[in-house]
A and B are shown apart, each in its own frame.
Chain A
Amino acid sequence: MVRYLLRRLLLGLITLWLLATIVFAITNILPTDVGRTILGPFAPPETVAALNEKLGTNRPLPVRYVESMIGLVTLNFGDSFVSGSPVLPQVLGAVGRSAKLAGLALLITIPLSIAAGLYAARRRDRLADRAIVLAGVTLSSIPEFVTGTILVVVVGVQLDLLPVLATAPEKADLVTQIRYLLLPAVAMAIVYFGYIARMTRAGAIEVLQSDYIRTATMKGLTTSQTMRRHVLRNALVPTVAVIAVQIGYLFGGIIAVEKIFNYNGMGATMLYAAQRKDLPMLTAGVIVIGLVYMLATLAADLIIAWMNPRIRLETER
């Protein structure tokens, strides 16, 4: 098990290094003048040159590459080109906010969609099943900025139930924070509901057709006993893997949702950095999102190994 973890972590580090290199390549090989982009087309050339000198963007590529790799290892991503302050605290702040939003969205969507998926599988081809599948497909095909906007208009403005902006006042308590985050979280949850529910349904239907469910039925177990003891664990393996990938995606930021609810999460931060050519910020952001992806899939693999003893044995080798 320890060896397996170490191997996975090593693989993860290699992935991060590759990711950093790709980000470096994309941001530095594009023939743009960073100083010029920041200062605008009307700034005098001397000022641009001076800024480039100050930012170090006029030095040779290899030097900058080595420097950025050293920065990666020492967790020093440098100072923002825009604000001049270190990027790491800013990125971590944004990640924290994104984590709150994504966490709440997942907290809403996972139990609901798994329950719906299992119920649909149990009532396969009946009305309830058709309704759940249809609702799922419909909801996931409406983009989150549409659901978000509708939520703002209906729940936020017309009914005036919840705040339409996601950012809670400073030092707000947990309940208040949740109240503020609820609308964007629901907008995101809706998108994933259909996806996870359909995955769960497919997994459960496959399990329901297996021989060991026949064994359980012949033992005389009730349907809910069968679902709980024999279907759940086996059916959720593919679902867990899907959720893990979605977590990375959620952290990467649903830019549209953040924009609508004016929330300064990872998406907004990264978009801003990209527009301003704030390379240190962009690099740090991509690396951090990569890290989240990596940890989420690792967690999913561990959960799957815990759920399925056959996979567990392989990891213990």
Chain B
Amino acid sequence: MTTMIDLPPGAPVPPGDHAALRVEDLSLSYIVRGIARPVLRGVTFEIKPGESYGLVGESGCGKSTTAYAAVRYLARNARITGGRIFIDGSDMTTMSEDRLREFRMRHASMVYQDPGAALNPTTKVGPQVIEAFAVLGESRPVAEAHALEALERVQIADPRRVMQRYPHQLSGGMQQRIVIAMALASDPKLLVLDEPTTGLDATVEASVLDLVRSLQGETNAAILLIAHNLGVIRSVCDRVGVMYAGKIVEEGDAAAVFDKPQHPYTLALLRSLPRHGIRKSQRALATIPGSLPPVGATLPACVFVDRCPLATEICRTIDPPPVDLGDGRTSKCHHIDRLPELTEAPARAGAEHAEQGGAALELSGLSKTFHQGGHSVPALVGIDLTIHDGETLGLVGESGSGKSTLARTILGIERPDAGGGLELDSHQLAGRSTDRPTEDKRSIQMVFQNPESALNRGWTARRILARSVRKLTGLRGKAIDKRVDELAANLRLSQQHLDLKPRQLSGGLKQRLAIARAFAGDPRIVVADEPTSALDVSVQAAILNVLSDLQVENKTSYLLISHDLGVVRYLADRIAVMYLGRIMEVGDSEVVFRGPNHPYTEALLSAIPKVDGEPGARIRLGGEIPSPANPPSGCVFHTRCHRFMKGICEVTEPPLIEVEPGHQMRCHIPVEELRRLQAEARRSDEVLTTPPEALEAAEATAENDPA
């Protein structure tokens, strides 16, 4: 369909090419208390039909604003101050409200983070999907038929039943499929995906990304993908633009940009990621000095100049023009030729981490059962686990696997079932922290994902630290101040920072403060629950370095919970994999990443979108994590396992046994067999999925679910 182009008189007609989306020198400001604060400073890029384009950059760089500007869904205080946006040749910036509505209906769609919120909670899924077709003018029965088709297209198994459900009755993955189905209803020219898989489990993320890739082939829609996870961008996008402070600083073929960055910012961003399997003992992560300029700041000619190691006088005076590097590759930098000067930090001398010490924390047969409405829900089942002196134990698994319950039980927030052992330095800990002596409380501390909610908002950083020092160490008077200064110095918090309140600190500084607080009493164990997942990668790098340094200095043991396997690989000495409240595999970090693995671990590892683009096995688990109230018989993973063996797996639960030195696994398949199968899977292109007989077994159990 051709669209009329209505331009203001005198405006130049856009070149007659076929870009599905073309953004031309777009500038945008947010009006805050009457003052315009620029957020986009001349963004230019285009996406061809069928092409997928990724925008990357740290929070505040303007990537989401760009995406929302593309469909003109902007905050009430946003003003487009310059430039134009063409979708399929029509200028979005000058469209009337009515035309805009028509345009969104037929030509542009959007999928975003948190699919649960994107669906009306009080209306069943069916009417919501049908509406997306009915609005196009289809009659009710036609719209209904199309809605069913659309749900099938996004691989929803039983669309009729799903349409009868309310959104909250469905899993996050299902919800996102439904939102995607609605977005595709009009067969749009442009599909904007804003962090579509953030907050979903890795296994679910992998299948949603598979879906996006397969739909891309079918629809010929241009895709604009926003994601902070560079692996997601790499696995989906053809081309990528790197944004910094409201500008695209580098652009090009996704693989080329990630493999050979041509802008100091891109290079720094990629180096701050824990990738290529590097570990804390080998090298500190690169960090980017300074911080992102605040929204609306007046910036010198090159926006990155204040943090750039290559900057010279010219960078402050002349805005670097885009340098064409061939193959659609551009970089806005005066000093591309000097990029090789930026070498990576040398590998650390010294051996792999220190000798394994004695046991700091020992869990034996630890269980936790919740009681809900007359049902008992076993959240932890017979956990045997040791955390040694000065080591990091990484805990991984999908949401609902019991990771957080385990952390809470260790901290004494949840009281474990009677009979289990929870020993700190060989003495039994009381089940509840309120029953523990101060000495034990001091010894086990916590760092949360969201430091904001863990710090008293009304207090200064200094007061927060002083209170923890007083509470945990028994120090008094001047000794407290001395300890506070010491902690601040260790975490690189300045005296000025100490006089600020948490909300005046940036996310990274807040997390430093939270870590300083946890270290106030010289703890033996620090439980860190997703300590960096709310942070940008360059900030994450700094936090991971700090955690690693503190560990070396203080011989503290960490229990690290993270869904980011790059982070786990970097920081953890050993890794435990949980599923449905059980430990499925535990072993030295390198051993676990090398394999052979428990099939569940294998699936988790294969699901991670890799920023290096290295090929690997493709395993897509069927079904969803079962309800812990009604765990499957035999091996609890058998209902989703791609290596399911009928007659054994659903009958007997395998024990957690040592398959090689320092490597335990809970699987019926012999380790050598797993080694062979997994090497085979890595070589083949075939996608491994849960066999139908396992899924049938899953359905049979689900029907007996009492919940």
Contact = CB atoms under 8 A, between A and B. Distances in A.
A216 B179 CA distance: 11
B135 A219 contact: yes
Interface in B154-208: 166, 168, 179, 182-183, 185-186
Interface stretch (B115-123, B229-237, B411-419): B115-123
A222 B97 CA distance: 10
A113 B330 CA distance: 58
A234 B121 contact: yes
B101 A222 contact: yes
A4 interface: no
Given A220-B102, A229-B131, A211 B123 contact: no
Contacts of B73: 214, 217-218
B104 interface: yes
Contacts of B373: 317
A212 B120 contact: yes
A221 interface: yes
Contacts, number: 74
B123 A229 contact: yes
B105 A220 contact: yes
B121 A309 contact: yes
Contact of A308 (B112, B114, B122, B128): B122
A125 to B, nearest CB: 8
A219 B110 CA distance: 9
A263 B373 CA distance: 51
A211 B128 CA distance: 14
Interface in A242-293: none
B105 A309 contact: no
B100 to A, nearest CB: 9
B101 A220 contact: yes
Interface in B366-381: 373
B118 A212 contact: yes
Contacts of B361: none
A171 interface: no
Contacts of A59: none
B335 interface: no
A215 B121 contact: no
A242 B630 CA distance: 41
A307 B118 contact: no
Nearest to B186: A220
A233 interface: yes
Contact of A212 (B108, B119, B135): B119
A219 B120 CA distance: 13
B121 A310 contact: yes
Contacts of B182: 215, 219
A218 B117 CA distance: 14
Contacts of A220: 101-102, 104-106, 135-136, 186
A211 B122 CA distance: 14
Interface string A118-157: 0000000100000000000000000000000000000000
A310 B168 contact: yes
Contact of A218 (B71, B76, B168): B71
A307 B71 CA distance: 32
A210 B122 contact: no
B163 to A, nearest CB: 14
Interface in A291-309: 307-309
A230 B120 contact: yes
Given A215-B179, A219-B135, A310 B166 contact: yes
B31 to A, nearest CB: 13
Contacts of A125: 76
A141 to B, nearest CB: 29
B562 interface: no
Given A218-B73, A218-B108, A229-B131, A309 B166 contact: yes
Contact of B109 (A212, A218, A310): A218
Interface of B: 71, 73, 76, 101-102, 104-106, 108-110, 112, 114, 117-123, 128, 131-132, 135-136, 166, 168, 179, 182-183, 185-186, 373
23 contacts: A211-B112, A211-B118, A212-B118, A212-B120, A212-B121, A214-B110, A215-B110, A215-B118, A218-B71, A218-B110, A219-B132, A220-B102, A220-B105, A220-B106, A220-B136, A221-B135, A229-B123, A230-B123, A233-B123, A234-B122, A307-B122, A309-B121, A310-B166
Given A220-B102, A229-B123, 18 more contacts: A210-B117, A212-B120, A214-B73, A215-B182, A216-B120, A218-B71, A218-B104, A219-B104, A219-B135, A219-B182, A222-B101, A229-B120, A230-B123, A233-B123, A234-B122, A307-B122, A310-B121, A317-B373
